[in-house]
Structure 1
Amino acid sequence: MKDLPKVELHLHHEGAAPPDFIRRLAGERHVDLSQAFDARGGYAFKGFQHFLQVYEAATSVLKTPEDYARLTAAVLEDRAAEGVVYCETFLSPDFCGGGDVGAWRDYLAAIVEAARAAEARHGILWRGVVTAVRHFGPEQAKRPSLCAAETVGDWITGFGMGGDETKGQQGDFAWAFDQAREAGLCLTTHAGEFGGPESVWQALRDLNVDRIGHGVRAIEDARLVRELAARQVTLEVCPGSNVALGLYKDFAAHPIARLREAGVKITVSTDDPPFFHTNLVREYDMLAESFGWDESDFRALNETAAEAAFCDAETRARIHKKLEKT
């Protein structure tokens, strides 16, 4: 599985930060983050709400564009080591300059420079999806949407929303999504995780997104499953994340196989891999063990992901070419 070329579409940039990287930064800034780590040095949390708190605490030590350049290099090096040939990461201007467009441009320039270096060194292609943080509220979401609209181009190709899915309704954020759509950005949002199937209906109806982050609880509504299949909306599924956060007891209980069998477009990603003690190779291994999927299944999943990627036709052709290797 390690050598199989892979596409990853659902990865939070700060959430992919290796624990050692965050500990070093905390030490440099004399910030006590001891409560964020367990005895073995990994991230420590109990439940989804605590996970969000630990995530934001870890992110708080990323203070400068240079910090994000170093983070980008580390994240993309890890992805390349797992066989990822194309990756999209969620980037939040709320964390990169406080939502100010000028500051965001500085952060983005540093991130893109590091991504170009990673492409030259590892051959990995990268694109960014700007995200609003849902529990910061609809008014605040307008700021990252503007940042995305002002920097849309070769590297920033999408807009989405993460955060606490139980806060508010998807439609509360329609203004931010409309602004991003008008700027030509592709759209995704987290739904169908802790918000249940109704949050997926809201995402389709009120935000008209191209993809759904997670979306797995759509399985609880047969009509919704049929709707997703009919619309050919792609789900960014992160099985290990769902299991780690207690949504399902193990991989075998996860609905990814049933959704796929029902004709829903499925992709596989890691979400916040070091937090959930996973990586893309492990995800593939666990799916193979749980559902009997073989190399042909994973190649098909990656072709689906390539088609769903928020990129231009030239980049998509490059991804497909990379997927053909080995």
Structure 2
Amino acid sequence: MPTSTSALPRLIALPKAEVHVHLEGTFEPALLERWATEAGQRLPRPRDQLLQFSGLTDFLAFLDWACGLANTPERLASLARAFSERLAADGTGYADLIVNPTHWSAWHGKLRGFIDALDAGFREAEQMGLPKVGLCVSLLRTQSADEAVELVDLLSAWRHPRVVALSVDGNEATAGRTGPRFAEAFRRAGQAGLKRTVHAGESSGPEGVRDAIELLQADRIDHGVRAIDDPSVVDLLVDKGIPLGVCPSSNLVLKVYPSLDAHPVERLRAAGVRLSLNTDDPSLLGTSLPGEYALCATHFGWGDDVLRALAQTSIAASFADTDTKARLQAQLASW
């Protein structure tokens, strides 16, 4: 997405967190081409069209193909390190990273090994002084209630220090209403001390956001932008102080909204909804976190006070530990 480049150095220096970003969306095209060649696989479409998506359904199918190439612990660890390097380059001090095990076909039935391999890469990155990362392990909307409970029970038994939250993602438009199906899994997650973050209000309407709040007890909502279609849902977000992790460029590329003029991020902010800006799938969508800030600041005329407030929300809404939050808040105060 086109952005104002003159502001990027200041926005890289802005202390901030990222709370809505998927590991599945951080593959670089050159890496995918190399791994596909090594596996003897053809690219799903010509190289110059590899990252051209017709919509969310096409995009999710591409993720399944890409993740299937990451079939060794070493490849997972390298993805983790590369993600941490991306955070540092963007000036991001912490990230809640979403991973959906259903996309990673080589790791089906090997969830603990999957998490351990990523953890090894993140521990190595942290030892190099790179930002901390927490994992939000995500359900896919088409999974059953029993599968959801099974995942939560495993996470609860392991209590892996890298895992900070349960998530749910996938195409709301094709899966239909899923809040009632996953309510028990999210209830158990809360009892186990896991945070809860929910994709809602992207390809569904505001009813998905309401379900995320009332049925899944979401601590944070990913996207949530379609809440704007129902003033009562906007009021619910404001009254409960539930933050949205908004991804403007993603919503444009995947055709949730036709233009930034039509995007409701400014209307939601003006209504008092707590917001953070995020990349969703930065490599595949051609964006960066400073780029998202620059894009919106330029288009909506946001000044430093708005940018600082968005960054503050990103830190407060993250699932980082207390010390990490305090450090980033202190840095933000002097930006």
- Short-chain TM bin: over 0.9
3-state DSSP of counterpart to 1:88: strand
1:162 lines up with 2:169 in the alignment: yes
Query: In structure 2, how many angstroms separate the alpha carbons of the residues matched to 1:44 and 1:270?
Result: 17
The residue number in structure 2 matching 1:233 is 242
After TM superposition, give the deviation of residue 235 of structure 1 in Å.
0.4
Question: What is the match of residue 4 of structure 2?
Answer: none
Is residue 3 from structure 1 mapped to residue 13 from structure 2 by the alignment?
Answer: yes
Q: CA deviation at 1:133?
A: 1.1
C-alpha distance in structure 1 between counterparts of 2:281 and 2:32, whole Å: 14
Q: Residue in 1 aligned with 2:185?
A: 176
| Aligned partner letter, 1:14 | E
The answer (yes or no) to whether the contact 1:138–1:172 under 8 Å persists in 2 is yes
User: Which one of 262, 265, 286 corresponds to residue 274 of structure 2?
Assistant: 265
Task: Report the number of matched residues.
Answer: 322
Give the match for residue 134 of structure 2.
127
Q: Which stretch shows the higher mean deviation, 279-288 or 131-140?
A: 131-140
Q: Say if 1:93 and 1:144, in contact at 8 Å, map to a contact too.
A: no
Is the contact between residue 8 and residue 87 of structure 1 (CA under 8 Å) also seen in structure 2? yes
Name the TM-score, length of structure 2 as normaliser: 0.90
Structure 1 residue aligned with 2:29: 19
Change (3 A) 1:312 1:2: closer
Q: C-alpha offsets along residues 128-157 of structure 1, whole Å, 9 cap, x if unaligned? A: 111011123433333432343233353211
The alpha carbon displacement at 1:202 in A equals: 1.1
* 2:37 paired with 1:30: no
Deviation at 1:123, TM superposition (A): 3.2
Check whether the contact 1:265–1:304 (CA below 8 A) recurs between aligned residues: yes
Q: Tell me which of 101, 106, 112 is aligned to 2:113.
A: 106
Structure 2: gaps spanning 5 or more residues = 1-10
- The aligned residue for residue 8 of structure 2 is none
Offset at residue 59 of structure 1 (A) = 1.1
* 8 Å CA contact retained: 2:201, 2:223: yes
Q: Structure 1 unaligned segments of length 5 or more: list them.
A: none
* Counterparts of 1:130 and 1:61, CA distance in 2: 20
Paired residue type of 1:316 = K
Deviation at 1:243, TM superposition (A): 0.8
Distance (whole Å) between structure 2 residues aligned to residue 151 and residue 99 of structure 1: 17
| 1:5-64 Cα shifts (integer Å, max 9, x gaps) | 2210001111122222222222222222242x5416x52321111111111111111112
Counterpart residue identity of residue 188, structure 2: Q
Where does 1:77-88 land on structure 2 (aligned, <5 Å)?
77-88=85-96
Q: Percent identity?
A: 35
Residues in 1 aligned to 2:30 and 2:149: alpha-carbon distance in whole angstroms:
33
Matching residue of 2:214: 205
Report the AA paired with residue 263 of structure 2: H
Indicate the SS of the match to 1:195: coil
Q: SS where residue 247 of structure 1 aligns?
A: coil
Aligned with residue 220 of structure 1, among 216, 229, 236: 229
Cα RMSD (Å) of the superposition? 1.9
* Pair 76,270 (structure 1): closer, same or farther in 2 beyond 3 Å: same
Quote the residue 1:148 is aligned against: 155
* 1:59 aligned counterpart, secondary structure: helix
Q: TM-score, normalised to structure 1's length?
A: 0.92
1:63 matched to 2:71: yes
Q: For the Cα contact (< 8 Å) 1:85–1:322, is it kept in 2?
A: no
